[in-house]
Amino acid sequence: AFFDCNMGCSVPKVTRTGAGAALMQNPAQALDVAKAMIAEAEPGHVGFKLRLGWENTSETWQEIALGLARAGAGWLSLHPRYARQGFTGKADWTALARLKELVDLPLVASGGAGAVEHFVDAFRDADVDAALAASVFHSGAIAIPELKRDLRAQGIEVLVVTPASGAMDANIAPGSAVFELYDIATDAKLDVVPVEQGEEAESAGMLLTFERELRYAGIIARQDPGAAWMWVGSTLLVLG
């Protein structure tokens, strides 16, 4: 199984318990949590989402990222804002490129995207392996077909994966999920794969696992043994 540890959540009800982005204030504690999770799973099977730090006077992401790489993290996600910023203010896109150079792990850009050019910058300039986005799609600010066309025009081909569950579709029973696979060139739907909780299904060479149901389904899409992604209730754009 694969797991994702969110050390980037800045919601007050989470951080006041010492969880989420509060861990960015204490690198030693963050790494203790990471090592415990990796020991229970196995190296390469746990990913970690980070912020730049708690606030702009305390930038800890580099120290934590290096420690996570040494501890056996499978991948990293970075929301390039400080926890104090929440979801406002400017995101530091240059941090993604610096993190990509710092550690040899798959990197997911997560948070801060408000325009198509942000995705272009993340894939082309920062060389991230995937981009995780939610609000820009949920609000309709960016349409996925439009984004795919614009990325393709920049020479960037991506695989788009969107999870669905009973929380979003009344026709899907609780404890089940659906994986939809689309052709990135034509937008044609190629496959619809139902996945029961705790079971595996395969499509287009990817192993799909519905691990648990929270508000949305959590699905892992694995393209090869060295690439594993887990997300909840968002759209994942994976560099093709």
Catalytic residue IDs: 9
User: Distance between CA atoms of 238 and 159, rounded to whole angstroms?
Assistant: 5
Query: Cα angle at 232 between 167 and 181, to 5 degrees?
Result: 85
Q: Which of 1, 17, 114 is nearest to 9 (CA)?
A: 17
Burial of 63 (0-12, 13-18, 19+ CB in 10 A): middle
| Element spanning 54, H or E | strand 53-55
Using DSSP, state whether 187 is helix, strand or coil.
Answer: coil
Q: How distant, in Å, are the alpha carbons of 62, 99, 122, 200 from that of 107?
A: 13, 8, 10, 24
Question: What are 125's two structure tokens?
Answer: 């300039």
Report yes or no: 37 and 19 within 8 Å, Cβ to Cβ: no
| Element spanning 229, H or E | strand 227-232
Torsion angle (degrees, nearest 10) of CA 115, 99, 51, 27: 180
User: Distance between CA atoms of 38 and 112, rounded to whole angstroms?
Assistant: 28
